Amino acid sequence: MNPGRVVVGLGLIATGVLFVLDSSGALDAGETIGDWWPLLLVALGVFQLVSDRRSWLGSGILVAVGVVLLGTRQDWLQGSAWSLLFAVILVIVGIRLLNLPRGSRAVAPGPAPAPVREEDATVDAVAVLSKRRVVSTSPAFRGGDATSVLGSLDLDLSGATLAPGARITATVVLGGLNVLVPHGWRVEVTGIPILIGWDNTTRRDVIGPDAPLLQINAVTVLGGLEVRHPVRWS
């Protein structure tokens, strides 16, 4: 299940219903959308979690952002909403760090660290308030989860070989994510961009339909995702 497609579809249906009710005088569609639009983020986080349980960090952050913004729109919260949101994100990330799988390493905020090499077939890459680079040279890369929150994450797959059905779940909130792939891969990016989207600059004019396929399902909220080759082509 594609969370972006599901949420956009339901959002369009709900918007259409609201305008039907607006035309009948039952409510003000513009005011209702303005008050309740953060529910889109909550729904997106829930559907992303349902579609891929490994993405609970990014999903939890999306739900937290949606709940806090909804609370401010509905006057449920007192004080600084952004301070509360920052505190909630810290709690979620802290829980995630306590549940890191054996062999994984967390990178603390600060200067760019040396590359972290992940030889397993999947990656679980997280960058929060930091810059991180993760390199995979797996001979049968299957995908994984990549999350960037107020940070910069580079996922280098230029030395990996794809396994059939490889798929990455990407979540970018107020940050950036770069995915580097070798020449000869097909890359399909789907999902939902909010305010800032993604860019796939990989070369596609020299590959055939039987080329290895990497699917990326992305959610970007005021953040950017770029898929490119290690050396840009002209």
Q: What is the pLDDT along the chain (234 residues), one digit of tens a residue?
A: 545 556 656 777 888 888 888 888 888 888 887 788 788 778 777 776 766 566 666 677 778 877 877 777 777 766 566 677 677 777 776 776 666 544 444 444 444 545 555 556 888 887 876 788 999 999 999 998 888 877 899 999 999 999 999 999 888 888 899 999 998 899 999 887 877 778 998 887 767 778 899 999 888 877 889 999 987 544
Specify the amino acid at residue 194: I
* Exposure letters 1-15 (e unless 16+ CB within 10 A, then b): ebbbebbeeebeebe
Q: For position 234, what pLDDT does the model report? A: 42
**Alpha helices per DSSP H over 74-213:** 81-98
Judge if pTM exceeds 0.75. no
